């Protein structure tokens, strides 16, 4: 089954191709002819079709193993925090709970909500029923992320994930004095990332601009309130209250706070590494006017970046260390990205396109470099 973003993009690109609008390709792809882009698109479609035809019992077993492991880690972590007055128990509980929250958010929640496992027809592991361990409600996030971000990846003015209405991350975004705080805003955002995303998903800018109704905003505020209450009850009430029996209520509260902060900082780092390091392009609306399916594929490849590393690192990033492959095929099972990546890299090589990949420290560093660079007006910003 195709994801909403994949199907919508296919319809849109087909319509634009028939409209006759001239296409202005980004510099990294300016050397490609229409025929080459079309052939590239067919090659990537074939890769996607091959994985869809092969997915089956082993893939289903994989995600069920991950879910089982995540739930075991969470139970063990919360249990250890019940003895949180002991420093070793507190560190152990906080560490296990941090790992559990990262797994749930990255490899499970993010990917289930993309519809990667809908083909299993399991109502417990489905994009329409899953509610993840994150403050923002699943349905709100699916709208801003699946429907908008993946459709308009890095298109300034259409993909508001570029800076989340808070940061300036591209020279195509107009500079404001507020942007001088870029490094400070980003440092604050990292440990409270789930709250930043929840506020972003309310689309307050759209409401102020009149493109979102008051009724829709009230609906989303209520949904966020219900979700926030659920998260607070689980992490900051239930676990600490139970821990009070052993005199560890305060320690359990600090443990759950710390685990959420660790998960938020990690998620923030992974997302920024996939979208904002040096070499990840942004695009103007002119560049997507007349975009074909092949051009959409090209934009995903040159607008995303990967993180190189071990299998464990890939697991803990939710396989978003293969961000290029994820943006090409957002609804394919995440465990398949590692086998798809060499094929995508080869296509980039043969068509003369960059394949942006590097170790975590390099991608994080270059992302933060952009945060500092675009805090300044363009005439004051250092050259790339």
pLDDT band at 13 (very low <50, low <70, confident <90, very high): very low
The reported pLDDT for the residue numbered 33 is 94
Contact (Cβ atoms closer than 8 angstroms) between residue 325 and residue 198: no
Is 84 inside any structural domain? yes
Q: What is the pLDDT of residue 10?
A: 42
Task: With respect to residue 297, please indicate whether it lies within any of the assigned structural domains.
Answer: yes
* pLDDT computed for residue 14 by the predictor: 43
Q: How confident is the model at residue 380 (pLDDT cuts 50, 70, 90)?
A: low
> Residue 135 falls within a domain, yes or no?
yes
Q: Is residue 165 part of a domain?
A: yes
Closest by Cα among 114, 140, 56, 120 to 325: 114
What local confidence, expressed as pLDDT, does residue 77 receive? 97
Q: Is residue 382 part of a domain?
A: no
For the record, the structure tokens of 345 come out as 């890299």
> SS in 3 state form for the chain?
CCCHHHHHHHHHHHHHHHHCCCCCCCHHHCCCCHHHHHHHHHHHHHHHHHHHHHCCHHHHHHHHHHHHHHHHHHHHHHHHHCCCCCHHHHHHHHHHHHHHHHHHHHHHHHHHHCCCCHHHCCCCCCCCCCCCCCCCCHHHHHHHHHHHHCCCCCECCCCCCCCCCCCCCCCCCCCCHHHHHHHHHHHHHHHHHHHHHHHHHCCHHHHHCCCCCHHHHHHHHHHHHHHHHHHHHHHHHHHHHHHHHHCCHHHHHHHHHHHHHHHHHHHHHHHHHHHCCCCCCCECHHHHCCCCHHHHHHHHHHCCCEEECCHHHHHHCCCHHHHHHHHHCCCCCHHHHHHHHHHHHHHHHHCCCCCCEEEHHHHHHHHHHHHHHCCCCCCCCCCC
pLDDT more than 70, % of the chain: 93
pLDDT tens-digit map of 70-97: 999 999 999 999 998 999 999 999 999 9
The count of structural domains within the chain is 1
Domain range enclosing 71: 4-373
Confidence band of 337 (pLDDT split at 50, 70, 90): very high
pLDDT of residue 23: 77
Residue 283 φ/ψ, nearest 5 degrees: -135, 150
- Residues 252-291: tens digit of each pLDDT: 999 999 999 999 999 999 999 999 999 999 999 988 988 9
Q: What pLDDT band is residue 384 in, cutting at 50, 70 and 90?
A: low
283: left (phi over 0), alpha (psi -120 to 50) or beta: beta
Residue 58 belongs to some domain of the structure? yes
Would 293 be classed as within a structural domain? yes
Give the per-residue pLDDT at 8: 38
Q: Is residue 380 part of a domain?
A: no
């Amino acid at each position: 089954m195709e994801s909403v973003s994949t199907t919508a993009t296919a319809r849109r690109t087909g319509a634009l191709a028939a409209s006759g609008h001239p296409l202005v390709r980004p510099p990294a792809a300016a050397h490609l002819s229409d025929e080459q882009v079309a052939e590239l698109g067919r090659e990537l479609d074939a890769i996607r079709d091959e994985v869809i035809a092969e997915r089956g019992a082993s893939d289903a077993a994989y995600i069920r193993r991950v879910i089982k492991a995540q739930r075991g880690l969470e139970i063990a972590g919360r249990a250890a925090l019940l003895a949180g007055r002991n420093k070793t128990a507190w560190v152990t509980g906080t560490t296990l709970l941090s790992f559990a929250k990262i797994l749930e958010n990255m490899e499970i929640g993010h990917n289930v909500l993309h519809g990667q496992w809908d083909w299993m027809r399991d109502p417990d592991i489905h994009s329409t029923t899953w509610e993840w361990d994150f403050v923002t409600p699943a349905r709100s996030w699916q709208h801003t992320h699946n429907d908008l971000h993946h459709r308009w990846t890095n298109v300034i003015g259409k993909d508001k994930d570029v800076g989340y209405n808070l940061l300036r991350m591209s020279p195509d975004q107009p500079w404001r004095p507020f942007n001088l705080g870029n490094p400070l805003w980003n440092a604050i955002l990292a440990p409270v990332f789930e709250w930043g995303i929840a506020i972003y998903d309310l689309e307050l800018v759209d409401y102020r601009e009149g493109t979102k109704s008051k009724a829709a905003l009230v609906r989303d505020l209520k949904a966020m309130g219900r979700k926030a209450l659920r998260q607070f009850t689980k992490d900051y009430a239930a676990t600490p209250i139970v821990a009070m029996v052993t005199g560890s209520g305060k320690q359990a509260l600090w443990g759950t706070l710390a685990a959420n902060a660790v998960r938020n900082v990690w998620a923030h780092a992974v997302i920024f590494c996939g979208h904002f390091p040096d070499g990840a392009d942004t695009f103007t609306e002119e560049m997507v006017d007349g975009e074909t399916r092949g051009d959409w594929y090209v934009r995903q490849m040159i607008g995303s970046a990967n993180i190189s590393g071990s299998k464990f690192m890939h697991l803990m990033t939710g396989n978003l260390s293969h961000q290029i492959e994820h943006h090409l095929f957002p609804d394919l099972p995440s465990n398949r990205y590692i086998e798809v990546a060499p094929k995508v890299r080869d296509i980039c090589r043969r068509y003369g396109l960059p394949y942006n990949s590097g170790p975590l420290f390099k991608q994080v560093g270059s992302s933060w470099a952009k945060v500092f660079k675009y805090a300044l007006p363009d005439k004051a910003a250092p050259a790339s």
